[in-house]
Structure 1
Amino acid sequence: MIPSDSPRAAGPAAGTTFRPPLADRAGYDEHFLGVPVPLPMPSRPEVATVVLPYTHFTVVLRPDRRMAAATAVCIDGRRLLDHVPRESSWQFDPRLDKAHQAGNDLYRDNSLDKGHLVRRLDPVWGAAAEADQANEDTFHYTNAAPQADVFNQGKKLWQGLENYLLDHAADFDRKLAVLTGPVLHDSDPPYRGVQVPLRFWKVAAFLQDGALAATGYVLDQSPDLTRDAERALAGAQAGAPPPLGAFRTFQVPVRDVAELTSLDLGPLPDVDLMPVTLAPAERWKRLASHDDIVLRRG
């Protein structure tokens, strides 16, 4: 109970309208590209989520996992602001119980990075105040997921995907709708009350030759792809985060992303630019550089 002499007990000043924190956020616009790209949602109705709109992006959070199942951001490449300083600090979203968010306790005194799901600069476009607000909004714990802290070529590839796609695949209007999230699997290793995802996914949608197109990607930070998860994680030390490997970035069929995540990706599997091959060894294309990405139907 709030004491009667607390400033919060008095409520808003006379003549003002109280607005809850973040109540004015419009979130992701599914019509941003001119054709509908719906917000990704779990395809299984028993999976509970909370939809949290921010500035130019939305987080679909799974309270049971304390992190996002998916995020979706609108990127206007022609209106991006390049020099917005990284001065914000991470914070809880006040619209959601802290018990349903993975806060700093997960990342304290260990080797885990707070990985932005919606990349910090992706929604930072428009008027200065709007862009600054978008930058601040990306620093909510709802937009973070634990990632390996070591910087490597695979991580560089992953972090630069949106820039590459804006420059080479967006049919001159330089707009993207980017859907991203962790692959939340029941076998993910637990750490400090949170299961740490070993893979992440991304699907980019854009217009190509006037029609909707999409490409899909998976980032793998599991310790060793040649061994099963149980053996790969056998070297974990008590009280330490699970061992994570160097990032490996793959271009994959969008349909595989939908199956891997049990998310409804709407029309995007049907407009995928990557041909689906039958041979499993060829189905996922490991990227050594952005030049390896398939952006035209063969």
Structure 2
Amino acid sequence: MSETPTAQVPGTATGIVAGTAAAADLTGRAGYDPAFLVPGPLVPVPLPVDGTEVVVLPYTHFSVVLRPDRRLAAATVVAVDGAALRDVDRDGQGWFLDPRVGPDAQAGAELYSRNDFDRGHLVRRRDPVWGGPDEARRANSDTFSYANAAPQASGFNQSLELWLGLEDHVLAHAREHDARLVVVTGPVFAADDPRYRGVQVPRRFFKVAGYLLDDGPGGPALASAGFVLDQTPLVEEVLRSEARAQDVPELGAFRTFQVPVADVAELTALDLGPLVPADRMPALVPAAAAEGDGVPMWRPVTAPGELLL
């Protein structure tokens, strides 16, 4: 697997397109810290990579692993400090193109105009909003980068409170042991994803949460949980296209599944590092899936109390 390329920041352009942040607005961003969750002798949680050519874009408390060939993020990873979260108003905040990469490497406003696709935050707006007041405001603004967006059918993005609030449920559980959380989120890319306005629209999204549990005499141990949500029927409704053959059986819209983190790694081809062996699910659920799901170990969840953490 090739090493993750370092983000290359081009020289400041002579003119900035309207809706694009000035280059100075993103200077000095440190991005996600792999040692945020497990400092010291424990294994850090690195940026996820999939072996393709990517550009790593650092923001405040999170990083985007951008796939220029797909014009979308292959993954995002955010550090959440639950004890230091702040409430920051989103009013007046507009989406912007990241000036550190060309507009042909990121999907902008043209993908989302006059249709039923939402600009779906991959790093959820409130997750990196912690720390000092200025720091929290920068993090809030940074989440509106188009590099942190993916096309999500409006019903998927707006209606699924369980999917959108998974970080809250995991954090509430982890808070008993540690108030910090790492969340990796992104689309599940497939070669046959339907093309729309020059972008292949992903039909599934994944989320993997990493947290600490005080599990034994050796002290805190890394734990993780993986989830997949399918928006295939909604995408096809938006695009008015026929259903396409898929490697993974149809899961249906509005269904969230807790899945083995190893399955997420296989579906996305991402190297999720220590999050795979830290998965809590294999030890907590029988090997057989619910009858009719068609995918071993994929557990449908409809309420927070059903999560295996």
Superposition TM-score tier, normalisation by shorter sequence: 0.7 to 0.9
Q: Give the residue type in structure 2 aligned to 1:29.
A: D
2:28 partner letter: D
User: 1:90: which partner in 2?
Assistant: 95
Partner residue of 1:219 out of 207, 219, 229: 229
> For 2:25 and 2:138, how far apart are their aligned partners in 1?
13
Give the Å deviation of 1:82. 2.5
Q: Does the Cα contact within 8 Å between 2:178 and 2:213 map onto a contact in 1?
A: no
1:79-98, Cα deviation, whole Å (9 max, x unpaired) = 00124334310000000000
- Judge conservation of contact 1:150–1:246 (CA < 8 Å) in 2: no
Paired amino acid for 2:229: L
Tell me what 1:270 maps to. Answer: 277
The whole-number CA distance in structure 2 between the counterparts of 1:233 and 1:271 is 39
- C-alpha distance in 2, partners of 1:97/1:252? 35
Which aligned pairs between 1:1-298 and structure 2 lie closer than 5 A?
A: 20-34=24-38, 35=42, 36-42=44-50, 44=51, 47-150=52-155, 155-209=160-214, 210-223=220-233, 233-234=241-242, 246-275=253-282, 277=287, 281-295=295-309
Shift of 1:23: 2.3
Q: Which amino acid aligns with 1:37?
A: V
Contact 1:201–1:219 (8 Å) recurs in 2 = yes
| SS of the residue 1:129 aligns to | helix
Structure 2's unaligned 5+ residue stretches are 1-13, 16-22, 215-219, 245-251
8 Å CA contact 1:250–1:285 kept in 2: the answer is yes
How many residues align structurally? 263
SS at match of 1:113: strand
Q: Distance in 2 between matches of 1:157 and 1:188?
A: 25
Task: Kindly name which structure, 1 or 2, has the bigger radius of gyration based on alpha carbons.
Answer: 1
Deviation at 1:170, TM superposition (A): 4.0
How far did 1:169 drift? Answer: 2.5
Give per-residue Cα distances to partners, 1:242-274, cap 9 Å, x unaligned. xxx733211000000000000000011101000
Aligned-partner residue type, residue 220 of structure 1: D
Q: What's the TM-score once normalised by structure 1's chain length?
A: 0.82
- Provide the C-alpha distance between the structure 2 equivalents of 1:60 and 1:120, rounded to a whole number of angstroms: 17
Is this contact kept in 2: 1:176–1:205, CA < 8 A? yes
Identity of aligned residues (%): 56
Is the CA contact (8 Å cut-off) linking 1:223 and 1:233 kept in structure 2?
no
TM-score, with structure 2 as normaliser: 0.80
Query: Residue 132 and residue 69 in structure 1: after superposition, are their counterparts in 2 closer, same or farther (change >3 A)?
Result: same
Deviation per CA, 1:50-93, whole angstroms, max 9, x where unpaired?
A: 00000000000000000000000000001001243343100000
Give the whole-Å Cα distance in 1 for the aligned partners of 2:243 and 2:266: 30
| SS across alignment from 2:78 | strand
Q: Are the aligned partners of 2:281 and 2:308 in contact in 1 as well (CA < 8 Å)?
A: yes
Aligned CA RMSD, in angstroms, stands at 2.4
Deviation of residue 151 (structure 1)?
5.7
| Alpha-carbon distance between aligned partners in 2 of 1:111 and 1:144, rounded to the nearest angstrom | 15
* 1:32 aligned partner, one-letter code: F
Q: Distance in 1 between matches of 2:136 and 2:25?
A: 18
- What are the Cα deviations for residues 167-202 of structure 1, in whole angstroms up to 9, with x where unaligned? 112443211011110011111000001000000001
In 2: Cα distance, 1:70 partner to 1:87 partner: 27
The AA in structure 1 aligned to 2:221 is A
